[in-house]
Amino acid sequence: MPKPRVFVTRAILPEGLKLISDFCEMDLWPGDLPPQRADLLKHVPGVEGILSLLTDRLDGEILDAAGAGLKVISNYAVGYDNIDVALASARKIAVGNTPGVLTDATADFAFSLLLAAARRVVEADRQVRSGQWKTWGPSILLGTSLYGTTLGLVGFGRIGQAMAKRASGFEMRVLYYDPSLPDDFSWGTAKRVDFETLLRESDFVSLHTPLTAETYHLINQHAFSLMKTDAILVNTARGPVVDSQALYRALKDKRIFAAALDVTEPEPLPVDSPLLSLENLIIAPHIASGNQVTRRKMSIMAAENLIAGLKGEPLPNCVNPQIYE
Ligand code: DGY
């Protein structure tokens, strides 16, 4: 019996790759950079499964190119805004993701960005290395305080809740905004508020929402105008949730104190992006889930989703379970 053919768009960690290559005829993209559009179109025809990364846009053109035999798309990420899930569902193609295993890694990183922005850690390091720092001084690199302040969480799913747990160690008051939660939802002492109240009252605003039509540029000029002038924005969700131009103005004009981003629009930012000239902005290269244990678990989870889909079984982590109804 021939093994099912799959296209894996980048090398994931070996544990997952081994599961896939044992069960499938695996076409593994060899590059460190994502396959270009033309490469995707060349590699998908006739495959039964695709293991994709968030850098691969899987839209109608790619699904058409794959053809009617495509059974499953397994995304190596919890987010899946790179995939046309509505179209995949219409064609009964199962789509999998990797929730849960990256919750703590992502919250750890978001919290470290929050602390680093509040205490200007990256800027301080730059000053020391460049020789700009001459001596200890009473008003050098003064930051904002964290203890007892208010953290506003936009999106209060698994990662938002993990942030709230971390915030309790700093005795922070926690507000959250998440229209997807049921009306009777409650969580410890965290307080549910509307979006504008969250922006007005928070010292730190941290984004944990998926990218959808509703959340695209949710943090825009109006949002910045409502935030406190010493507020800090943290984004570990998706770049386009923040309007980059509005962010640039807010940081440049000191409308807010600072921002720390793990995700940008686009990724990576062009080297001449005005955002990169700002001292009060930290930018990381989309690594919030990036610790070894987590990425290993993600590779196994993604492989298990792929293999279940190829076997015609429900995916252990499926974003479109309605296809089984
Ligand atoms: C995700 O999983 O969606 C992250 O952005 C990468 O791990």
pLDDT digits (tens, 9 = 90+) for 280-303: 999 999 999 999 999 999 999 999
Whether residue 114 is found in the same domain as residue 222: yes
Residue 289 CA: nearest ligand 1 atom is 7
Confidence tier at 16 by pLDDT (50, 70, 90): very high
Domain range enclosing 40:
5-99+292-324
Q: What is the pLDDT of residue 153?
A: 99
Q: What is the pLDDT of residues 62-81, one digit of tens each?
A: 999 999 999 999 999 999 99
What percentage of the chain reaches a pLDDT higher than 90?
Answer: 100
- Is the same domain home to 318 and 274? no
| Main-chain dihedrals φ then ψ at residue 313, nearest 5 degrees | -95, 155
Cα 39 to ligand 1 centroid, rounded to whole Å:
23
Q: Residue with the nearest Cα to atom 6 of ligand 1?
A: 77
Residue 1's pLDDT is: 83
What pLDDT does residue 70 have? 98
Task: Give residue ranges with CB within 6 A of ligand 1.
Answer: 54, 77-79, 102, 289
How many angstroms separate the alpha carbon of residue 123 from the centre of ligand 1?
A: 26
Which residues have a Cβ under 8 Å from the Cβ of 135 and sit 6 or more positions away?
Answer: none
Pick from 10, 106, 159, 241 the residue to mutate for probing ligand 1's pocket: most ligand atoms within 8 Å of its CB.
Answer: 106
**CATH assignment of the domain containing 255:** 3.40.50.720
Percent of residues, the chain, with pLDDT higher than 70:
100
On whether the CB atoms of residues 224 and 255 are closer than 8 A, the answer is yes
Question: In this predicted model, what pLDDT tens digit does every residue of 204-244 receive, in sequence order?
Answer: 999 999 999 999 999 999 999 999 999 999 999 999 999 99
pTM: 0.97
Q: How far apart are CA 193 and CA 183, in angstroms?
A: 12
Atom of ligand 1 nearest to the CA of 290: 7
Q: Which atom of ligand 1 is nearest to the CA of 76?
A: 2
At residue 197, the pLDDT reads 98
The answer to whether residues 220 and 153 belong to one domain is: yes
- How confident is the model over 100-129, as a mean pLDDT? 98
The dihedral region occupied by 185, where left means phi > 0, alpha psi between -120 and 50, and beta the remainder, is beta
pLDDT in tens, 44-54: 999 999 999 99
Note whether 217 and 187 are same-domain residues.
yes
* Same-domain status, 201 and 61: no
Task: Find the 261 Cα to ligand 1 centroid distance in Å.
Answer: 14
- Please count the other Cβ atoms lying within 10 Å of the Cβ belonging to residue 84: 21
Name the active-site residue from 123, 238, 265, 304. 238
115 shares its domain with 90: no
| Helical segments of the chain, H only | 14-23, 37-43, 60-66, 85-90, 103-118, 121-129, 158-168, 195-201, 221-226, 244-252, 292-311
Q: Looking at residue 94, what is its pLDDT?
A: 98
Does the CA dihedral 315-210-173-186 come out positive or negative?
negative
204 and 189: one domain? yes
Q: What residues does 204 pair with on adjacent strands?
A: 151, 232
Q: How far is CA 138 from CA 119, 135, 142, in A?
A: 15, 10, 9
Q: Is the pLDDT of residue 162 over 90?
A: yes
Q: Distance from the CA of 135 to the center of ligand 1, in angstroms?
A: 41
Active-site annotation holds for 238: yes
- For the chain, counts of helices (H) and of strands (E): 11, 12
Q: Are residues 239 and 319 in the same domain?
A: no
Whether pLDDT at 130 is above 90: yes
All residues at 6 or more sequence positions from 142 whose CB lies less than 8 Å from its CB, including other chains: 120
Number of domains present in the structure of the chain: 2
Residues 265 and 163 grouped into a single domain: yes
CA of 227: how far to CAs of 145, 196, 199, 213, 307, in Å? 17, 9, 5, 23, 46
Q: Which band of pLDDT confidence, cut at 50, 70 and 90, is reported for residue 320?
A: very high
Whether residue 206 sits in one domain with residue 232: yes
For residue 77, which atom of ligand 1 is closest to its CA? Answer: 2
Name the DSSP letter for residue 36.
P
Q: Give the C-alpha separation, 217 to 241, whole Å.
A: 5
Ligand 1 centroid vs 289 CA: distance in angstroms?
6
Tokens of 228: 């406190």
| pLDDT, averaged across the chain | 98
Strands (DSSP E) contained in 191-283 are 191-192, 204-207, 232-235, 258-261, 281-283
Are 95 and 126 members of one domain?
A: no
Please indicate whether residue 286 is annotated as part of the active site. Answer: yes
- Indicate whether 275 and 137 sit together in one domain: yes
| Residue of 51, 81, 102, 109 with the most ligand 1 atoms within 8 Å of its CB, for mutation | 102
Q: Catalytic annotation on 222?
A: no
